[in-house]
Amino acid sequence: MREITENYIDGQFCPSTGTENAPLFNPATEEQIGNVRLSAGRDVDTAVAAAKRAFPAFSNTSPGDRVLMLRRLAAAAADNADAIRKAIQEEYGAPAPFVDFTANHAGNAFLDMAAVLETYARTRNIGTTEVEMRPVGVAGAITPWNANVGFICSKLAVAVAAGTSIVIKPSEMSAMQTQVLAEALHGAGLPSGVFNIVNGSGADAGSALAAHPDIGKISFTGSTTTGQAVYRAAAATMKRVTLELGGKGAQIVLDDADLDVVVPNLLANGFINSGQACIAGTRILVPFRLLAEVEARLAAGLAEWPVGPAFDTASRIGPMVSRKQWDQVQSYIALGRIEGARVLVGGEGRPDGIERGWFVRPTLFTDVSNSMRIAREEIFGPVLSIIPYRDEEDAIRIANDTDYGLQNYVLGTNSDRLRRVARRLESGRVVINGAAHNPLAPFGGTKQSGVGREYGVFGLEAFLEPRALLI
Phi–psi pair at 348, nearest 5 degrees: -70, 165
- Regarding 222 and contact with ligand NAD (CB under 6 A), the answer is yes
Instruction: Report the DSSP beta bridge partners of residue 177.
Output: none
Q: Does the protein bind ligand NAD through residue 147 (CB under 6 A)?
A: yes
Smallest separation (angstroms) from ligand NAD to the CB of 337? 24
Out of 135, 246, 275, 287, the only residue in the binding site for ligand NAD (CB under 6 A) is 246
Region of 101-109, 169-177, 296-304, 364-372 interacting with ligand NAD (CB under 6 A): 169-177
* 247 C-beta neighbours (distance < 10 Å), count: 27
Q: Which is nearer to ligand NAD, 246 or 281 (CB)?
A: 246
| Choices 130-138, 197-205, 353-361, 433-441; region in contact with ligand NAD by CB under 6 A | 197-205
Closest contact distance (angstroms) between CB of 207 and ligand NAD is: 4
Least Å distance, CB 227 to ligand NAD, is 7
- Whether residue 66 contacts residue 160, with contact meaning beta carbons closer than 8 Å, is answered with yes
Of positions 247, 301, 336, 362, contacts ligand NAD by CB under 6 A:
247
Instruction: Give CA separation, 201 vs 43, 152, 196, 430, in Å.
Output: 12, 16, 16, 34
Residue number with the shortest CB distance to ligand NAD? 202
Q: How far is the CB of 164 from ligand NAD (least distance, A)?
A: 19
Q: What is the x/- site pattern for ligand NAD, positions 449-468, by CB under 6 A?
A: -x------------------
Q: What is the smallest separation between the CB atom of 454 and ligand NAD, expressed in angstroms?
A: 7
Q: Which of 406, 421, 425, 451 binds ligand NAD (CB under 6 A)?
A: 406
Among 70, 87, 215, 230, binds ligand NAD (CB under 6 A): 230
Half-sphere exposure of 222 (CA within 13 A, CB side): 23
Least spacing, CB of residue 416 vs ligand NAD, in Å = 30
Please identify which residue in 229, 268, 343, 354 interacts with ligand NAD, judged by CB under 6 A: 229
What are the C-alpha distances in Å from 265 to residues 142, 148, 298, 351, 420?
31, 25, 10, 23, 20
Q: Does 215 bind ligand NAD (CB under 6 A)?
A: no
Q: Does 275 bind ligand NAD (CB under 6 A)?
A: no
Cα–Cα distance measured from residue 279 to residue 409, given in angstroms and rounded to the nearest whole number:
10
Scanning residues 7 to 26, which ones bind ligand NAD (CB under 6 A)? none
Compare residues 345 and 425 and give the one whose CB is closer to ligand NAD. 425
Q: With CB under 6 A, what is the number of residues at the site for ligand NAD? A: 31
**Site residues (CB under 6 A) for ligand NAD, limited to 430-449:** 445
Under rule CB under 6 A, residue 244 binds ligand NAD: yes
The C-alpha atoms of residue 248 and residue 408 are separated, in whole angstroms, by: 8
| Pick 230 or 320: Cβ nearer ligand NAD | 230
Residue 43 is a binding residue for ligand NAD (CB under 6 A) = no
Residue 402 CA neighbour count, 13 Å, CB half: 34
* 314-343: contacts with ligand NAD (CB under 6 A): none
CB of 32 to ligand NAD, least distance (A): 19
Q: Provide the minimum distance between the beta carbon of 297 and ligand NAD in the complex, in angstroms, as a whole number.
A: 28
Closest distance to ligand NAD from the beta carbon of 64 (Å): 30
Is 143 a binding residue for ligand NAD by CB under 6 A? The answer is yes
* Residues with a known catalytic role: 244, 278
Angle (CA) 349 355 356, round 5°: 95
Q: How far apart, in whole angstroms, are the C-alpha atoms of residue 246 and residue 285? A: 20
Stretch that binds ligand NAD, among 127-135, 206-214, 258-266, 395-403 (CB under 6 A): 206-214
Report the amino acid identity of residue 257: A
Return the amino acid letter for 35: N
Helix axes 96-119, 63-79, angle to 10 degrees: 170
- Residue of 112, 367, 378, 461 that binds ligand NAD (CB under 6 A): 378
Interaction between residue 142 and ligand NAD (CB under 6 A): yes
Q: Measure the CA–CA gap between 449 and 431, rounded to whole angstroms.
A: 16
Residues at the interface with ligand NAD (CB under 6 A): 142-147, 169, 171-172, 201-203, 206-207, 210, 221-223, 226, 229-230, 244-247, 278, 378, 380, 406, 445, 450
